[in-house]
Amino acid sequence: MAEKKREQEKIKKQEQKDCPYRKKCGGCEYLYLTYDGQCARKQKQVKDLIGKYGKIEPIQRMKDPYYYRNKVHAVVDRDRKGNPITGVYRKGTHVVVPVKNCRIENQKADEIIKTIQGMLKSFKIKIYDEDTQYGLLRHIVVRYGTKTGQIMVVLVTASPVFPSKNNFVKALRAVHPEITTIVQNINPRGTSMVLGTREQILFGKGYIEDVLCGKTFRISARSFYQVNSVQTEKLYCLALEFAGLTGKEVVLDAYCGIGTIGIIAASKAKKVIGVELNADAVKDAIENAKCNQEKNIVFYQGDAGEFMMNMAADGEKADVVFMDPPRSGSTEKFIKAVKEIAPKRVVYISCNPETLGRDLEWFVQNGYQMERAIPVDMFPWTEAIECVVLMSQVKN
């Protein structure tokens, strides 16, 4: 009891602390709300958008809603005096706001970024200039394995030539022996994409691992991985509970990324089929299945809608469908194909309740009803909302 009170007091105190970057950054839209206020707002938004399909259960809150981002991206730039700075783009612009310590970013990652910033001058590393396209270092990305403690540093450079890189890596590791791998990513293009396609490992294995729901996942510099590991575990546990697997089911994991949901479900199902558009992610998914010794799972690369239509045309069936589409949601084509494949349950994980609402309407038209819906707060202080929804086939 006393501990719970202390915890609450700590949160209250932190909440009252203003963010020094509030006006300049723009990344956290809900800084003016308390955590209670944010959760209430998100609950209401979900209710307004999908409440007509059924009951919305209370949002799953984050116990300690700070420093949760396991992936931190910093832009490297110079101030007016020519000194190196690291920070974030002001929302909607390419103006760099220097950030030292952000309330939602992993603190160790912020520390490492500051160390690198401090080393740039003595190592005479040229900072890239977006306007002239001259210079070397563009971005720093740090990824942190919340369960394993493994840390990856990605140095994004405009060209492959990195003078004195061995000494730089040595000096960085001397300050931060906890770094487990360092990768140079080469991005010569003048686009707003942070990472390029070429990579060179400067130290370690070139990837980190993390553990979710007892399974190990390999995360490379470019793979998609949910940024809030604590809440992701809650989200996946709910998704699995909704699926109600008994070991006999054929399961589809659509929009599967690096295979997380399907791999977690595999030991409770007869067979899992994953489908994903991004070829790199599919490679990671296959590797992840192998390293978790899941043999009853296969992955296909392609558009999820096309894949489902082909399955439907071949008369194939599935018992449970997981779907976790991007912000744009799914498609009518996908949902019509689901009807043909006829799963008893569909578990929809959504990062955008607006497209979720549109898709639910299509599901209802195709013989499904919403059984359960729970928002999960994956992104405290920001307006982003994640939901997990269970739909079941309406029996005639």
For binding to ligand SAH (CB under 6 A), which residues are involved?
A: 224, 226, 255-257, 260-261, 275-278, 281, 303-304, 324-326
DSSP string, 125-158: PPBPBTTTTBSSEEEEEEEE-TTT--EEEEEEES
Closest CB to ligand SAH among residues 261, 373: 261
Nearest distance in Å: CB 52, ligand SAH: 26
| Min separation Cβ 64 and ligand SAH, Å | 22
**Planar angle of CA 352, 353, 354, nearest 5 degrees:** 90
- Min. distance of Cβ 386 from ligand SAH in angstroms? 10
Which residues does 282 contact at the CB level (< 8 Å), separation at least 6? 274, 276, 299, 300, 301
Tokens read off for 98? 């220097």
Give min distance, CB of 125 to ligand SAH, in A.
Answer: 33
| Strand locations in 245-344 (E) | 250-254, 271-276, 297-301, 320-323
Minimum Å distance from CB 385 to ligand SAH? 15
Active-site residue flag, 19: no
Question: ∠ CA(169), CA(172), CA(178), 5° rounding?
Answer: 110
Q: How far is CA 381 from CA 35, 112, 245, in A?
A: 8, 23, 34
**CA distance readout (Å), 391 to 131, 247, 283, 325, 386:** 50, 20, 30, 16, 16
- 218 C-beta neighbours (distance < 10 Å), count: 19
Nearer to ligand SAH, 165 or 218 (CB): 218
Structure token pair of residue 60: 């799953």
- Provide the minimum distance between the beta carbon of 35 and ligand SAH in the complex, in angstroms, as a whole number: 24
The residue among 199 and 306 lying less far from ligand SAH, judged by its C-beta, is 306
Residue whose pair of structure tokens reads 């160790």 in the numeric block? 108
CB 7 within 8 A of CB 63: yes
Q: Which is nearer to ligand SAH, 226 or 229 (CB)?
A: 226
Q: How far, in whole angstroms, is CA 166 from its chain's centroid?
A: 31
Catalytic residue among 39, 102, 351, 387: 351
User: What tokens does 116 get?
Assistant: 């690198």
Residue whose CB is nearest to ligand SAH in the complex, by number: 257
With 0-12 CB in 10 A as exposed, 13-18 as middle and 19+ as buried, what is 344?
middle
Nearer to ligand SAH by Cβ, of 257 and 343: the residue is: 257
* Residue with smaller CB distance to ligand SAH, 102 or 243: 243
| 309 burial type by CB count under 10 A (0-12 exposed, 13-18 middle, 19+ buried) | middle
Taking the complex as a whole, the smallest distance from the CB of residue 15 to ligand SAH amounts, in Å, to 29
Identity of the residue, 102 or 269, whose beta carbon is nearer to ligand SAH in the bound complex:
269
CB-count burial class (<10 Å; 0-12, 13-18, 19+) for 47? middle
Longest Cα–Cα distance in the chain:
73
**Which of 325, 343 has the CB closer to ligand SAH?**
325
Q: What is the distance between the alpha carbons of residues 175 and 170, in angstroms, rounded to a whole number?
A: 9
Name which of 278, 322, 331, 317 is nearest 300 in CA terms.
Answer: 278
Name the region of 106 (left: φ>0; alpha: ψ -120 to 50; beta: rest): beta
Task: Give the shortest CB-369-to-ligand SAH separation in angstroms.
Answer: 24
- Active site residue ranges: 351
